[in-house]
Amino acid sequence: MKLYYSNTSPYSRKVRLVINMKGLDKQVENILMNPFEDKTKLKAINPLGKIPSLVLDDNEVLFDSPVICHYLDSLSEEKPLIPGKGWEKWLVLRWEALADGLTDAAYNLVVERRRSASEQSTSAMSQWTDEIQQVLREMEIRLTELDGEITLAHIAVGTAIGYLDFRLSELLYDSSCPQIAVSPNLMSWYESFQTHPFMLATRPV
């Protein structure tokens, strides 16, 4: 399999963590891409022109990150990242959706901030900022649901907070007191999770 990815893409990091956690690293060739500079090349692989994109050995292509992660998890029953069949499974998938939504809001905000001031939408930026704050509060309240073995929920939350930490770290802290985390228990969880060897190996550079 071939994974088209970039080092700074949070969605790619999520997939790379799944590859490592499932022990699939020897079966995947990693191909670095810049989704903005390599757009034409990327669109020939994935019509959406986005990373991550996974090309299977029979040349079928999978995107986006949830589909790729679910596929990779289905390749072996060992170390299931979407465990169970009942509520346990839906809880993991809901956490993934919540964390991916957080990443979407953060990524949109980062891209918008790169536009010239005259092109930026202040209402869209404030909507994404509100979404980020709302999700951080929700994750803080529900954090005990993450007690237990590492699942796709942990991986998605780790990459979402990791992306905020990398690009928008000010949003993780109280604006009037930058030493205080807005979601202190979530931040302690993240401080510990980010020391996982695979989190360290996939740190954005």
Ligand X SMILES: N[C@@H](CCC(=O)N[C@@H](CS)C(=O)NCC(=O)O)C(=O)O
Q: Give contact residues for ligand X (rule: CB under 6 A).
A: 9, 11, 35, 49-52, 64-65, 100, 107
- Give min distance, CB of 121 to ligand X, in A: 16
* Shortest distance (Å) from residue 11 CB to ligand X: 4
What is the number of H-type helices and E-type strands within the chain?
8, 4
Q: Which residues contact 138 (CB under 8 A, 6 or more apart)?
A: 98
If the CB atoms of residues 60 and 149 are measured against ligand X, the closer one turns out to be: 60
| Closer residue to ligand X (CB): 11 or 181 | 11
Cα angle: 120, vertex 125, 128; to 5 degrees: 150
Tell the smallest beta-carbon distance from residue 120 to ligand X (Å): 17
Closest contact distance (angstroms) between CB of 80 and ligand X is 21
Q: What is the DSSP pairing of strand 53-55 with strand 2-5?
A: antiparallel
Bridge pairing between strands 29-32 and 2-5: parallel
Stated as kind and residue range, the H or E segment containing 125 is: helix 122-142
| Minimum separation from the CB atom of position 33 to ligand X (A) | 8
Would you say 37 or 147 has its CB closer to ligand X? 37
What are 195's two structure tokens? 């020391």
Backbone angles phi, psi at 4, to 5 degrees: -90, 125
For ligand X, give the closer residue by CB, 65 or 181. Answer: 65
Residue 14 or 181 with smaller CB distance to ligand X: 14
